Every structure is written in structure tokens, then in C-alpha cells.
Structure 1
Amino acid sequence: MVDLRSLREDPQTFREALRRRGRDPSLVDQALELDRSWREALQEVERLRAQQNRASEEVARLAPEARGQKIAEVRELAARLKELEPEVRRRREELERVLLLFPNPPHPTVPDGVGEQDNVVVRTWGTPPRFDFQPKDHVELGLRLGILDFERAAKVSGSRFYYLLGKGALLEMALVRYALDRLLAHGFVPVIPPVLVRPEIITGAWGGATFDPQQTYRVAEDDLALIGTSEQSLAGFYRDEVLDAQRLPVRFAGISWCFRREAGAHGRETRGLYRVHQFDKVEMFSFAHPERSWEEHEFLVSVEEEILQGLRIPYRVVLLCAGDLGTASAKTYDLEAWMPGRGGYGEVTSCSNTTDFQARRLNVRFRERGRTEFVHTLNGTALATSRVLIALLENYQQPDGSVRVPEALVPYTGFERVEPAA
């Protein structure tokens, strides 16, 4: 949710922010008109209350035989207030509904653009492997190694689910523990959060007036929703609380299953593990001081890079353009790993500073020198197992069809290679 006072004082900045995101700037005018209407009704209510209070005081000072007319006036004012007060609430609710539609304004360093093609490569790391044999993609590798089974999963759950078997399952658990150990070294607090949350937690974290049914699974009977990332449940951890500024930043490492409908996905994006309905993820989440949140953003990106560098997986860092930002984000970096099966890079992590966008919607504040203000919240993928497994299998494949395990994972797996199934 945007700051209403800032919207009143500088509407042009918000119009420009909407334009940069490819949204209709007239949303600003709609909000300002609703704000004017609400304040007009509120002022009338306040005027009538003051008049009612004065009349009530006068009644007390009048002789009993002279009170009749003034009592009638008090009753008339009470009736008018009873009629107008619900209208004030209705207008305020309508204003808040429209304010919920505003995305977070992009940071000035975010490039202009309308979509993925306008994102900017900031830097690259590592060299894509050159194979002296015809490399396979992760789907073929997984089937030959006997660690992936999409066909049986489809019989049980439908498309875009999978079974991860044997050493494949051990690889996934090794990836989770490897990423978690990197975060523990940086002082993150490990958290296993709820995966079912209230719908307002989803919208509080990701924006909008209602959550996107194209992305989110809903359990209607219980008015709950499955998280698409632990960012959502972690964002609500301090809901309606005030933190001590000395505690900031508070850094959480969320470990959870994530669930996404991905209803609009198609083509090669849906092949194999790249865009599945359920996956395991280690997520970084930070509650930060507003004066230090941009420094915190760069720190989180550096941790993401540290994790991929430890696995020796080539990647590039991409700065998203304004039109490709998520609703809640003021600035986002993606890390894209080299995936030989795609013949290019594929997104494996994302790292965003949502400034005070989530904190306003979830009412998370901090206190400093006797004043309270909203914290800044940031999130970043430490490791999404399904995407990293793609890069690992494809980059570490060997001529004999086996896959070598990255050195950093061997202490967790207890084996150095995954051999083809007999």
C-alpha cells in the first residue's frame, strides 16, 4: 500500500511510477477523488459531533423546563450522525481498496522497459562448460539416472509434478542443507514456517486487493491459501508489531515447500523441473532499517552469488526493468544459471527490496528515538532446489551418462557421482 500523504503531496511521482510499470496513471486521480470524498464526509461527521457535544453541554446548563428544544436538537444530530458515519466508513473502505491496487514505485536505478527483453545484465560469473559429447537435458538425464519420474507423478497428481528418487532425493536434501549452512554462517535464523496462511497475508506480501488465482492455490473451506514462497509467511511474522530499531536487521532463513498454480505457463517453460507446481526452497527474508535497506539488498544478492559460486555453476546477475518487476518490488535482481539443455541462462534466484510496501500492508514498524515508522522488508532466494537441480545435472554431466556431484555437496551426500540406473 502506498503512503496516502505522499500521494496527496506528490501525485505526479506516482503517475510516473505507474507509467514506468506500464500501468494506467489515472489510478492516481481515482484515488485522490476517493480521498477528497472521504475527507469531505469525515469533516462533516466531525462538525456534527462537535455541534452535538456543544448542544449536550447546553442541555446540562438549562433549567429542566427549558431543555425540550435542545434535547430535540441533540437527537436530530444523533440521527444525522447515525446516517453519515457508515457512509464515511464505506468511502474509506473504497479508498483503501483502490490504494491496494498501487504497485511499489520503481527505484530510480531500475531501468525503463516493458518486459524480460529489457532487463539488464549486470555481471556474469564462470564459463559455460564445453562438452566433447552431445549433452542431454535434465529430463533425459534424470530418467536415465533413475532419479526423476514425471510419468508416475502425473498419474497421481497431474502434470508438472514429479517424484525425486534415490540419490536425486539425497541431492535435494544436500542442496537445502548446503544453502542453510551458508546462511547460518551469516547469522540468519532458520525458520520452518506455515505453508497455509490467510489470504490477506498473501496479498500483504505480494500486493493487489485479492490474490492471483492464476498463481495461488486456495483452500476455500478454511479460507486459507498455500504459500508460493516462504517470503509470504515470513513477511507476516511481525504483523501488527513494533520492533526495536536496535534489533534490525532481523534475518530469517525460511525452509519450506512452495506451491504455485502457474496457470499461464506453456511451452518449454513447463518441461521438466523448470516450472513445477511444488518445489522446495530456502528463502532469505530481512526486516531492515530504511536507511540501510539498499545496502542490505546488495548483501542478499552477494549471498546468492556465494551459494552458486560454491557449487561452481556459471551464472549472470540481471537487473529487472520497471515493467518486469513484481507488484511489491521497488528493485529486483535475478540470478540466472547456465542451463545447457536450454542453450542459455535460466532464472534460479530472485532478490527484491520491497521498501515499506509489505510493512504498510502488514503493519510492521520499528521504534527509534521515541518515533515509530515502517520497516523495509527484503527477500531473496537462497536456493530453489528444482531449478538448481536442472543446472547441476546439466553442467556436471559426464560422457558415460553419469553426473558428478559438486565438491561442496559431497560432505552432505556422502557420494561423488550419480550413476545411470542399471
Structure 2
Amino acid sequence: MSDFMIGVGGLLAMFGLMVFRMPVGMAMLAAGYFGTMLISGGRSANAMFVTEAFSATSNYNLTVIPLFILMGNIASVAGFSSRLYEAAFAWVGWLRGGLASASILGCAAFAAVSGSSVATAVTIGKVALPEMKRFGYSDALATGAIAAGGTLGFLIPPSTGFVLYAILTEESIGQLFMAGILPGLLLTLLFMAAVGLMTFIDPKAGPRGEWVPMAKRMMALLRAFPLLIVIVVSIGGIYLGVFTPVEAAGVGAGLVILMALAMRKLEWRAFKQAITATVGTTAMLYLIIIGASVLNPFLALTYVPATLGEAMTSAGLGPYGVLMLIILAYLVLGMFMDGLAMLVVTTPIFFPIITGMGFDPIWFGVIAVIVIEMGMITPPVGLNVFVVKSVAQDVPMATIFRGVIPFWIAMAVGLLAIIVFPQIALIIPQAMFQ
């Protein structure tokens, strides 16, 4: 059997293991390790496993992951996340569909703390869904808004997706974080526009909330102000060059802990809960990184990425035709795979093709993350849909999937805008290094 066929067989075996519910990191690790053993022998496979695993986990830049996850978990258990939603509700809740728009704004704000799509959807969903139910919102609009808004946690910095992409491609985490700001704001506005259109067509789907006087709006904003300060300090510090991303994560986590202690919002049991959740999520992400670090050298040995790249570039489709093929592949994979798994599996294959076509690697990172976001709300898997289902257990899955369709279309519009106008993603990171 040729090395190329061993590579193809290894990828098929990896996907098969994922179908049988093996953890993503372990499936990649098994495919990479045993595939290398078939090609180069057991000694080479052992040496590769040890060196790659140590090299991946000892990467200083990965420290940003547990620190930002800790920041989001502390903010959640201390109740800061509900303050973000309350502030958004006070300012836009009185509009038609305002509670859904407030949920999206709350997701966008909390995304800038947590860096996790799942955490964003769960945290804001627990606060927002009961309120929308109380005001008579349709189940489709309420759950669709939370599922779509939660995906912003994968795009708005600090994004774990950008951290993994940066590690895999050796790009700058800081530049990727900055590249996600304007696209994140664009998607937030498009989601709110989708809510406006849906409630214009069917006013009963999202009735107006209560009118909030200006004094109460300012009070709600003041209550959310401490966490907004943390967001501005950590992300603004990266932009101004005051902090590296790792330092910004440490400063942000430290500030959130100090605020929670000063405001007596952090009990010992809640603190232990946040630490435990942080360790569990970090361990899962590190396992994925180790698996990817073992899988990628195996794929390089089999020439699968190079062969696929040659086939795509020789098809005569041109750069944007190849880009559309890659996006289509992401959309198909997104129907069945977890977003992080898809990112670590496909980046080593698609990244050389993209750079060979002359596309900006930072720009492509944003494109990849947005398409993966779309996969998070695409049936039959749609991870964020299942997350929202766990919060809204009385709502059928079909209703939630129906509710996310307008937001999926809004994401497609945003993706097209960033492809046509790359500066939406590149203007801020380019300004950082002028």
C-alpha cells in the first residue's frame, strides 16, 4: 500500500473513531501514531509522539487558553454575565424583537470575556430564554437568537479558535484577535437585522419589551461597567502593544477575580466550580492540540495535503474558485464535526493551498472561523443547537433549527462581505504594526 493510501485510510479511520464517540483528540492521536508506525516503524512513531506532544504542550502561547477560560468562568459564576444582558435589555429591549436583540448583544459582550461558543450560549441562554418566554416570544426566534449569538464566542476575541489556528499556522495570536473585532461586530449587527426582519414579517414572534427610563438604562450600564472595563483593558492592551495576548489574559483573569472578591460575588464553592470547569475545558483543548500535533506529521509523510493542493490548483478554478471549494468543504464537514476538531484537522491541509494562492493567512483565519461558526448551527449536528436544547428542554430540535435559518443566512451575508472586502478583517491588525 502506498503512503498516500495509508494517509487516506488514516483520515477515514479517524472520522470513523469520531463517529463511534471517541474524543476528537484521541481519534487524531490514534490515526497519527499508528499511521506513522505503518510508514516508519514503531521507534519513529514513539519518538514523534514524545517530541510533538512535549513541543505542543510546552508552547508558552497556549497559556492564553486557560487564563481566558478562567476569566469567562469567574465572570459567569460571579453573575457578571447577567449584568451584561440586563444592560443590553435596558437599552434595546423595548424595541420590537428587542429581547432577542438584547440576547445577541449580551452574547457579543460575553464572548469578549469567555472566548467560548458553548459557554456564551449556555450563560446568556439561562438568563435570556426565561425572559423571552415571559414576554411571549416564539420559541423559534428565542432559541435561534441564542444559538446564533453564542457562535460569536468563537469569533470575537479572545477566541479559542483563533488561538488554535495561530498555533497550527505559526501566525500572530494578537493579529488574529484584532482581525476578529470588526467581523464580530458586523455579524452582531446582521443578527440584529435578522431579528428586525423576522419581527417585521411576524410582529407576534417578538413583541416589544417594557419601556425603560433613561435613569434605569444608565444604572444598568453602570452595573455592567466593571466587566466592560476588563474587556477594554485586555483587548485594548493587545491593540496598543501594552500586553502580549498571554499577558492580557492574565491581567483580565486577575481583574475579574479581584472585582468578584471586592464585590463579594465569589464564594468558595463557586470559585472551585470555576476552577474545575477551567481545568476540564483546558484538558480537552490540550488533548486536541496534542492529537493535531501527532496527526500533522503523519499527513506530511503521506503527502495527502500536497496531493490535494495540487489537485485543487490544477483544476483551473482560479484562487476564488478554490476558496469556494474550501468553504463548501467546511460547510459539509460542519454538518457532522465539532468546530474545534474541524479546525485542527483541516488547517494543515487547506492552509498551504491558501497561502500558495496568495491569500492573506490572517484573513483566511477569519474566513475559516466564520464558516466553522456556521457549522455550529447547521443540522444534523449543530453543536450550539444542542447546547440551547439543553437549556430550553421543552422546545423541539426542529423548532430550534428552524429558528437559526435566518441567522445562518445573515452569517452567509457577512462571510460574503468579508470575502469581497478583506479590509473588514485586516484593517485593525494592519494598523497595529504600522
Q: What is the TM-score of this pair, normalised by structure 1?
A: 0.27
Between 1 and 2, higher relative CO (CA 8 Å, sep ≥ 6) is seen in 2
Larger Rg: 1
Between structures 1 and 2, the one with greater strand share: 1
